[in-house]
Amino acid sequence: MQLKRTHGAAFTLALSALCATRARSATVAEEASLYSMFRLFTDSGGVRVRAMSGDYAAPLGHGAESLSLHWNNEQVTIPAISAPAGSQDAIDAITTASRPIEGNAFEDYVKTRNELTAEIARSHVGAEYYVSREVDYLGQQFGAHADRDLRDQTFNVAVSTSYGWDAITPLADERSASIRQHKNTLHGSVVATQVLSPSTLVRGGVELFHVEGLQHNIYRNVYAGGTRVPERHPSTRERRDAFVKLSHYMANRSSIKADYRLYNDDWGITSHELSADLSQYVTHALSTSWEYRWYTQGKADFYAHEYASVNGIGGYRTADYRMNDLASHLFGVSLHLDMDGFAAAHPHLGAPALWLHYERYFNSNNYSANILETGLELRFQ
């Protein structure tokens, strides 16, 4: 589903590089805090995503409850078709475009998404509601999570579940009619965290997803049987993954994290992901980190470079390169500045923080992207 499970043609393409799904246990805010973040995404296809988001968390009264709110506004710009009007290249670009072709296909297409998440947490339990709105997509999700500490708080078990229901009303264009669709997602996870020593902990977990409904791009066509036909994916999908993460703090004020994730689904895709992150304090207030992620997957059972028949394989056909064999790399670097001096001059505020993060992504299917993120964090006494 949305937020952690992105949707929409351009958003899926772009935000899969920006966001990572992760299970977490319930937490309660001990002081009011405000986060503001700006993200900029550009890829080798000319797609641009500008995102502004904010997070607010605060305790409720004098109890153990807290409220957190997350707001995000994204604007996706898909470049206009650059081929000369009336040429075969322009015709091919229009018929296979993964966006609605409205009005002038030779102008940039701009799409906006707004989302809001509200969560209430108390001690070791919490619940959240999420809503996201686009011109052709309305996504909603309800979730709940709980965790428990064991073995003198050295071992924690967290469980979470969510149910999302999405309403999709494609914009009509010369290739397709506007037919209301849906997608429902049921998710569950179990995560265990063990403290191995005062400086080392390990976390592992499993996640299961059952997805039902529209799971292909309603605007995209596939070349099959010598003609262009609409893309079609199976209407159900069983997804599962397992992961393990190791975090270790070192005496020189640095830390290292290493992750491995195994994914499999009933479309025939199996993937492996390895990542590592090294963080280091440069001064008392300034820290930096470096990250690397390697990913590889096999292709879906119904993927083919060319389809001999309009029926594709088993009645399914796709033009989504992410259904093909794929290997990718991501490199990232970030800077984080704690402004302790500002806090001393403004005692009503905690220590503000600034950060800057850059990632470079590329894969074996001639796709690459740049992700720039900058943010401000404020805490209130």
Per-residue pLDDT of the chain (381 residues; tens, 9 = 90+): 333 333 333 333 333 333 333 333 346 667 788 889 999 999 998 999 999 999 999 988 776 789 999 999 999 998 888 777 767 777 677 777 777 776 577 888 899 999 999 999 998 999 999 999 999 999 999 999 999 999 999 999 999 999 999 999 888 765 556 678 999 999 999 999 999 999 999 999 999 999 999 999 988 889 999 888 999 999 999 999 999 999 999 988 999 999 999 999 999 999 999 999 999 999 988 999 999 999 999 999 999 999 999 999 999 999 998 999 999 999 999 999 988 765 555 555 566 889 999 999 999 999 999 999 999 888 765
Q: Is residue 2 part of a domain?
A: no
Residue 4 lies in a domain: no
Q: Is residue 340 part of a domain?
A: yes
Q: Is residue 67 assigned to a domain?
A: yes
- Is 236 part of any domain? yes
Q: Tell me, what DSSP letter sits at residue 143?
A: E
Q: Are strands 353-363 and 326-338 parallel, antiparallel or unpaired?
A: antiparallel
Specify if 347 maps to a domain: yes
SS3 276: strand
Q: Are 347 and 353 in contact (CB under 8 A)?
A: no
Domain-embedded: residue 259? yes
The CA distance from 50 to 73, in Å, is: 8
Please, what is the Cα angle at 276 between 359 and 238, to 5 degrees? 85
Contact predicate 271/296, CB 8 Å:
yes
Residue 246: CB partners within 8 Å, gap ≥ 6? Answer: 200, 201, 202, 257, 258, 259
Q: For residue 130, list its beta bridge partners.
A: 117, 141
Using CA atoms, how far apart are residues 303 and 15, in angstroms rounded to an integer? Answer: 23
User: Contact, 239 vs 185, CB < 8 A?
Assistant: no
pTM (two decimals): 0.86
Q: What pLDDT is recorded for position 295?
A: 98
- In contact, 68 and 29? CB cutoff 8 Å: yes
3-state SS, residue 12: helix
For residue 3, is it within any domain? no
What pLDDT does residue 2 have?
A: 30
* Gap between the terminal Cα atoms of the chain: 35
Neighbours of 283 (CB within 10 A): 9
CA gap 215, 183 in Å, rounded: 7
Nearest by Cα to 106 from 133, 140, 78, 143 = 78
Phi, psi dihedral angles at 339 (to 5 degrees): -95, 75
The number of distinct structural domains making up the chain is: 1
Instruction: Determine the structural domain holding residue 331 and report its residue range.
Output: 9-380
189 near 5, Cβ under 8 Å?
no
Tokens 């280091």, residue?
A: 280
- Distance between CA atoms of residues 33 and 11, nearest Å: 28
The conformation of residue 98, written as its DSSP 8-state character, comes to S
Q: What is the CATH number of the domain that holds 198?
A: 2.40.160.40
Residue identified by tokens 């404020």 is: 378
Tell me how far apart the alpha carbons of residues 273 and 292 are, in angstroms, rounded to a whole number.
11
In terms of C-beta distances under 8 Å and separation of at least 24 residues, what long-range contacts does 341-349 make, across chains too? 347/381, 348/380, 348/381, 349/378, 349/379, 349/380, 349/381
Strand partners, 355: 336, 375
